Structure 1
Amino acid sequence: MGGRGATLALLAVVVLAAVGGAGAEAESSEASAKGRYHALFNFGDSLADAGNLIQNGTPEILATARLPYGQTYFGKPTGRCSDGRLVIDHLAQEFGLPLLPPSKAKNASFAHGANFAITGATALDTPYFEAKGLGAVIWNSGALMTQIQWFRDLKPFFCNTTEACKKFFAKALFVVGEFGGNDYNAPLFAGMGIPGAYKFMPDVIQGISDGIEALIAEGAVEMIVPGVMPTGCFPVYLNMLDVSEEGKGSRSGCVRQYNTFSWVHNAHLKAMLEKLRAKHPNVRIIYGDYYTPVIQFMLQPEKFGFAKQLPRACCGAPSTPERAAYNFNVTAKCGEPGATACPDPTTHWSWDGIHLTEAAYRHIAKGWLYGPFADQPIIQSS
C-alpha cells in the first residue's frame, strides 16, 4: 500500500461514536445493571477495537498504538482508538464484568465473552468494494461476517453442547456495531461524494441485517445495534473534504448534508430492525443512538462537562490556517510527530478528530443503559 493509499486506508478506519447523558434517575438505577448479563460479545470497528488489530504485531504506520492513546485510563496504548475506555468497556464494568479481551488475544480467558471488533471493519466484505473499483481505499481487517466466523471459531471456549450454548448465550448481550462508517468512507474518500455514498446504503443495511440474523441463528436473544454518528461534525471530514461555510450549521459548525446522510442511514437501520423484531419476536433488539448525543455535545456541551467549541480534536495538530480550529492534520495525526494532546481530555468529546474520548464513551454507555440514547434502555426500570 503506497503512502497515499495507506493514509486513505487509515482514514477509512473512521467510524464515529457519540454520547449521551444519564441523570439522577439513571444514577439511582445503576445497581440494577450488576449481574444483568454474565457475558458480552462485541462486534465492530475502531470505535470498539480493544486490541485485535495489534495482536499479531503493531504496524509501523499505526499511530493509534502509541501514546497518548490509552493515557487516561490504562496509562499506555492498548490498541483502543481513544485516550481510555470505550463504550464496551464501560458497559462491561457497569455489568460487573471484566473488560472483554480481544478475541485474537493469546491465553486470554473468554469466560465472560470476547471482543471481536477490529479497526477498519466494514459491514460488507472486501470483494464488494473491489468490484466497485475501491479496493485501493478500503482497508478491511475483518468485516462483520468475518467477525461472526471468529465468534463461531471461539464457541468451544464458551460452551460445548447445543443446550449449554443456548443457556450461555441467553444470558449474554451482543453489541453489533456500529457498522457502516468505514463502508461509506470508501466512496467518500475516493471522491465519489455524498451521491456516490448513498448508492452503497441499501447494501450496507442489508449487510448489517444479515449479520444480525446470523447471530440470532447462533443463539443471540438480546442485542443492541448502534447507528452511525453525525458524520458532518467530525474534524477529519471537516478538514479533508471540500465544504463551504454556507453548508455548515451556524450553531454547531457541522456540515448539514453529511449529517443528513448519517440520519438517513439510521432511519433505514431502524426500519430494518423493526422488521427483524417482527420476524424474531422472542429476540430483544435495541437500537443504540449515537447521532443525537453528538449533536447534543455540539449544542449543549456544558450538559456533559465539555468545553463550548466548534468541532475540535483534543489530540492532533492544526492544518491550514482556515481549518486550524479543527486541530486535525493528516500529516500529523494523534500519536504522530507534531501532534499533541490537550491538557484535559474530559473537556473534549472528540479525541483525535475521528474517534471519541473516554468521557464521551462513558456518556454513551450510560445513555444506552438507562436512557435516553436507545429506543429502549438496556436496563429496564422495574
Structure 2
Amino acid sequence: MATDASTRRDGAAGIALERGADGVRARLAGRWTADQAPAVEAAADRLVRGGADGRMVIDLAGLERLDTLGAWVLERARGDLEQAGRSVVYGGAAPEHRILLREVGYREPEAPPPRRPRSLLDPVVALGGGVRRLGGEVLAGIAFLGEVVAGCLRVMARPRTFRGAALVNQMQQIAFNGTPIIMLIAFLVGCIVTQQGIIQLQRFGAQTFVVNMIGILTLRELGVLLTSIMVAGRSGSAFTAEIGSMRMREEVDALRVMGLDPIEILIVPRILALMLALPLLAFLADLAALAGGALTSLLYGGLSVDAFLSRLQNVITFRHVAIGLIKAPFMALVIGIIASIEGFAVAGSAESLGRHVTASVVKSIFMVIVLDGLFAVFFAALDV
C-alpha cells in the first residue's frame, strides 16, 4: 500500500492518501475550520488531484474539528471527484460531521430552462396571465376587507380593547402632519387650472365662467382626487413600510403568539384614521384650490375677490360639496386595504420591502382613479 501524506503543522488541516488495490483512502486530520482556510483549500486540492479511477473513501475519523467552511470545501471536492467519474464515500464520520455534511451537501447547479421559441400568441398569453393575477388580487382584497370588517365588529363588541391612542396617533400622522403639503399642492393646482381656463375663455370674452369651472371641478373631482393621490403616496406607503418592517422583524408573528389579532392591533386603527382624515383633508384641499383660483382670477382675469365669491355662491350648491366628500371615505378604505395587503406580503429582505411599497403606491393611485371614474358614472346616471 502506497501512502502520500501532506506535511502540516500541529492542528492544521491535512490529508494522507493511501492507495491500495481497491482504490484510495483519504485520511483527513487536523482542524478543517475557517481559521485554517488556506490549509483546508490546499488539502482539498490534494484530495481532488490524488483521486484515482475507482473507489475513494474519505476517512474523517482523524479530524479534530469540522465547521461549515470545512464541510462545504469537502463537499465541493467530493462533487468534483464524482463529476470526474469517481465513486466517493465517507467513512469514520462522527454523527455531528454527517449532519453538517448533509446540510451543506453538494448539489448540481440547476440548468436554466430551455428558451421557448417566440409565438404570435405570447402577448395574448401575457394578457391572460395579467388578468388572472388581477382577479386573484381583487379576490384577496375582498377577503382582506372581510377580515377588517370582522375585526371592526369584534372591536365594537369589546370597546375596551380598541386602541384609541393608536387612532389619535394615526390621525396626527395623516391629517395634521399632511395638511400643509396637501393644501399647498391644491392651492398651486387651483392656480394653474384657473390660469389656463382664463386664457382659453378670454378668446370668447367669457373669462368670468372660469368661476363655474374651477368651483365645480374642484368640489366634485379635483380636491378629493388630489388629496387621495397624495395620501396614497404619503400615508399608504408609510403603512406598507411599517407593517412590512414588522413582518421582517417577526413582530406580527409575535403578536399572534401573544394571542393578539394583528388586524385589530395594526389595521383597524389605521383604516379608521384614514377614513376620518381623508374627508377633512379633501375639504381643506377644496378651500385651498378655490383660494388659488380666486387669486389667479384677480391677477389674470381682473375679477375681484368679491365678484369671484359672489359668482361662486350662485354656482355652487351643497350637492357639489357632498358629492366630493362622499367619495373620500371609500377612497380611504381602498388605500388602507391595498397598503395593508402589500405590507403583510413583505418577505424577509429590503428588496421585497421596497418592491411592495412601490406596488402599494401604484395600485392605490390606480384604484383611486378607477373608483373616481365609477363614482362619476354613478352620479351621472343619477343626474346629480
Larger helix percent: 2
Q: Which is bigger in relative contact order (C-alpha 8 A, separation at least 6)?
A: 1
